Amino acid sequence: MNEKLAINGGPKSIEKNFNWPVYGEPEIYAVAEIVASGKWGNPDCGDAIARFETEFAAYCGSKYAITCVNGSVSLRLALIACGVKPGDEVIVPPYTFITTASSVIECNCVPVFVDIDPDTYNISPAAIEAAITPRTKVIIPVHFGGLACDMEAIMSIAEKYNLKVIEDAAHAHGAEYKGKKLGSIGHVGSFSFQSSKNLTSGEGGIVITNDDELYAMMHSLRNVGRIEGGAWYDHYNPGCNYRITQMQAVLLSEQLKKLEAQTRTRNENGLYLNTLLEKIAGVEPLKRDEKITLHCYHIYIFKYDPAYFGGLSKADFAEMLAAEGVPSYKGYPHPLYKQPLFQNKNFMCYAIPDHVDYTNVHCPEAEKACSSDAVWILQHAMLGDKADMEAFANAILKIQSR
């Protein structure tokens, strides 16, 4: 097998187009119907938003769901509802999208980065416990790539220190831990419906909770501080207009009908791809604890060892793999605390204490994941079939034998 690599003009390992989002006439008709009704907005024009919220809460096994404009504002709603005060500390992982941490800044709180577990790339419970101070108020575990965090350990730490847990489930729609939907285990679960996510309406977000008080506050913050049953011009809380449109809501209701089957397909494909990659020296899938009853593979991550690829850098390998037709990426180039936002403390009007200094932060496992180890295959590729998974593994072998 000494074929010319696609990056050098050779044939691709796989020619298939993996489309995302997956949609058809039901989505088109549902949106058209709302457009034709003239009732495009919330809260006084139709019930599509409330209907989707009820459907999503039921799907997750939670009491309440509140939609909002995106999966960043949803974190902000959750943090404020959890009662954080200026200067409070919020524990976050460094291997995640920016808003897991920047939403904390927006609440005038201090993101405290703790390292990830190298076997799963999720926040390490031992590192969480070591980082707790009297100022710690909230933990935001991110189910990275859709792989569940060690929620048993995280919830017991939260209970021991009286902390709130906001699950950042932006990658984790439909995934499960011990048979429970992710997002439904912590005090609040936060999701994004941005266009790359496993459930999407282009943009959008949602929070879920079982707690009546958290629900009431997040609902109020989403709706310019109004309260349920209150008068239109009575504003009680420092919220904003974070509402979605009825068009988004019906699109989400249609997409939600497909989510469980899509999740199971990705889960099966991920398990099969694990067996294929385990046979290839120099690549290794992340570990899956048996408590993970369903993985939604928003990102299928494997570890790459350049020693088995003639010293080829991860970035070059990932570029070759993408050229072979595998929807893949080299992942984050560095952990979040390396961003200029944190390094330069460019927090503008936000009141972060002077002693906070991100230039001393080091999370060696996150740094290693970014610089040399982690390669991502994207969720829409995980909706393929077994032959596609075999083609992905063969593309890796082709690069290895170059």
Interface positions with ligand PLP (CB under 6 A): 70-72, 96-97, 99-100, 142, 168, 170-171, 192, 194, 205
**Tokens, residue 41:** 């907005």
| Least distance in angstroms from the C-beta of 299 to ligand PLP | 9
CB of residue 204 vs ligand PLP: minimum separation in angstroms? 7
Q: How far is the CB of 149 from ligand PLP (least distance, A)?
A: 12
Cβ burial 239-252 (10 Å sphere, 16+ → b, else e):
beebbbbbbbbbbb
Cβ proximity to ligand PLP: between 140 and 292 the closer is 140
Please, are residues 75 and 320 in contact by the beta-carbon 8 Å criterion? no
Q: Pick between residue 74 and residue 136 the one whose CB is nearest to ligand PLP.
A: 74
Tokens describing residue 35? 């457009």
- Compare residues 99 and 269 and give the one whose CB is closer to ligand PLP: 99
| Closest alpha carbon to 124 in 84, 166, 156, 92 | 92
Nearer Cβ to ligand PLP, position 97 or 302?
Answer: 97
Closest CA to 327 of 268, 273, 280: 273
Angle at 83 between CA 99 and CA 134, to 5 degrees: 90
**Which is closer to ligand PLP, CB of 172 or CB of 292?**
172
Give the three-class secondary structure for 32.
helix
Half-sphere exposure of 330 (CA within 13 A, CB side): 16
One-letter amino acid for residue 107 of the chain: C
What minimum distance in Å lies between the beta carbon of 279 and ligand PLP?
Answer: 31
Least Å distance, CB 380 to ligand PLP, is 15
Which residue of the chain is nearest ligand PLP when measured via CB?
Answer: 71
Residue pair 143/172 in contact by the 8 Å Cβ criterion: yes
State in angstroms the smallest separation of the CB of 172 from ligand PLP: 9
The smaller minimum CB distance to ligand PLP, of residues 72 and 262, is found at 72
What b-and-e string marks burial along 205-217, b requiring 16 or more CB atoms within 10 Å of the CB?
bbbbbbbeebbeb
Cβ atoms of 266 and 382 within 8 Å: the answer is yes
CB of 205 to ligand PLP, least distance (A): 5
Minimum CB distance to ligand PLP smaller for 84 or for 396: 84
Q: Are strands 180-181 and 283-285 parallel, antiparallel or unpaired?
A: unpaired
